[in-house]
Amino acid sequence: MDPSGLLDFFRKKDLFAASLGIELETMADGYAKASLELTPEHTNGLGIAHGGALFSLADLAFAAASNSHGTAAVAINATISYVKAVSQGMLVAEAREVSRSSRLATYTVEVLDEGGSPCAIFQGTVYRKKEPLLPQADS
């Protein structure tokens, strides 16, 4: 179910996430979940998942959660701490809203490996614009 069309919007329009193989699984008010099946294209010279790949997975969950209320939100900053090297398997990122005001909102994201252990934690803030993310349907 995606009555607002937001999930569909993210899946079709976020070309960067799509090109990396990142899938947006769930989107709800202030929440989102995304996943990534690691392949050799996600690794660095040491053969482990690239910092940019883990960040991009967390970032998509962050973007979806922060845009879940229907108004456009743009990232101001983000921090990632890498807590466990991972080289294969399905990774999952879950973003949760910590706080939201009319202009700003803050989220935490956990990236978990296939066994459910944290690989990275992420914290980020968005600036919330006044315009809706999607054109409003006539009603």
Q: Provide the binding-site residues for a copy of itself, judged by CB under 8 A.
A: 9-10, 13-17, 19-20, 40-46, 48, 50-53, 55-56, 59-60, 62-63, 67, 72, 74-85, 98-99, 103-104, 106, 108, 118, 121, 123, 125, 127, 133
Least separation, in Å, of the C-beta of 36 and a copy of itself? 11
Nearer to a copy of itself, 47 or 90 (CB): 47
- What is the rounded CA–CA span in Å between residue 4 and residue 66? 15
Q: What is the CA radius of gyration of the chain?
A: 15
Least distance CB 40 / a copy of itself (angstroms): 6
- Which lies closer to a copy of itself via its Cβ, residue 15 or residue 137? 15
Beta strands (DSSP E) in 1-139 are: 22-28, 31-37, 71-82, 90-100, 104-112, 118-132
The residue among 29 and 117 lying less far from a copy of itself, judged by its C-beta, is: 117
Nearest-approach distance from CB 4 to a copy of itself, in angstroms: 14
Residue 136 CB, shortest distance to a copy of itself, in Å, is 16
Closest to a copy of itself by CB, 91 vs 133, is 133
Helices (H), 14-99: 15-20, 51-66
Give the residue with the Cβ less far from a copy of itself, 21 or 138: 21
Q: Which residues contact 99 (CB under 8 A, 6 or more apart)?
A: 105, 106
